[in-house]
Chain A
């Protein structure tokens, strides 16, 4: 078996050129999903029987939370690939995933807090799920901070990859937290193994938003990684040619 494809996948230049072709399509799909999903959720989905209109926050709260959790795996797996195969591109992706993940975790926490006020009567409760989400935010921020903490770039990326891997323990705990500790956070609305506890008229806009935020995550990950590729590869001929080309195009 040849490993050529795997090494080509690890080539920053290959990634830069390929991702440039994907971006316009992916951005268009992302914008469409998010605009349609938001309007659907805000204006056309029926109001919740118990919570009234405040529940409409779910259309951004849940997607950002779900993708911030999935994004943690993206970051940890990229770190592992970087450690095992010494793949530069994987480290760059890990760095990008940390920034995007931290923002999504913050948004999930923020929208959760604002939703909590009219629903539970308080902005913040140290419920199990919120506490572990805060821990995940700190793990993301820790990975970002460790990148800058060492003189040697190599040591810095390795240290942050290890931190990312250790923090993976936290993710299943967040998923399971609503079942283990029955506190304020409501139990999962969408289940894969049994019927969801949500009406289709609310489920479809929610799924649209989840798909939209996943697409946006991919777009942001690609954009951050592309910027990082140029920085790291600035001494190579292809980047210098790209810079010259960009100057002439103007």
Chain B
């Protein structure tokens, strides 16, 4: 097993097929990365939003209690 190209420039060009090959790899990398990042962000947003809700509820609770006293 050895490196199939004579230089880095040759590797980028791939004897004329470079633009096709590299654009495919770039789009696929982005697409696959999205599949990992998107659900992680969704989960984080959900937790932050629920956290705010809990804080509002806690604040309302204390306000109610002080009003009662």
Contacts and interface: CB of A to CB of B under 8 A. Distances in A.
Contacts, number: 109
Interface residues of A, number: 48
A46 B40 CA distance: 38
Contacts of A45: 4
B24 A57 contact: yes
A216 interface: yes
Interface in A202-250: 213, 216, 219-220, 223-224, 226-227, 230-231, 234, 239-240, 242-244, 246-247
Given A44-B1, A227-B46, A243-B51, A52 B15 contact: yes
Nearest to A216: B32
A141 interface: no
Interface string A50-83: 0011101100110010000000000000000000
Nearest to A116: B20
Chain A interface mostly: helix
A93 B43 CA distance: 15
Contacts of B31: 103, 106-107
Nearest to A113: B24
A49 interface: no
B54 A247 contact: yes
A42 B3 contact: no
Interface string B36-51: 1011101100110011
B8 to A, nearest CB: 10
Contact of A64 (B11, B16, B28, B51): B28
A223 B39 contact: yes
Interface of A: 27, 34, 38, 42-47, 52-54, 56-57, 60-61, 64, 96, 99-100, 103, 106-107, 110-111, 114-115, 117-118, 201, 213, 216, 219-220, 223-224, 226-227, 230-231, 234, 239-240, 242-244, 246-247
| Smallest CB-CB A-B distances: 10 pairs | A53-B14, A223-B39, A220-B35, A54-B17, A227-B43, A243-B50, A227-B42, A53-B17, A224-B39, A111-B24
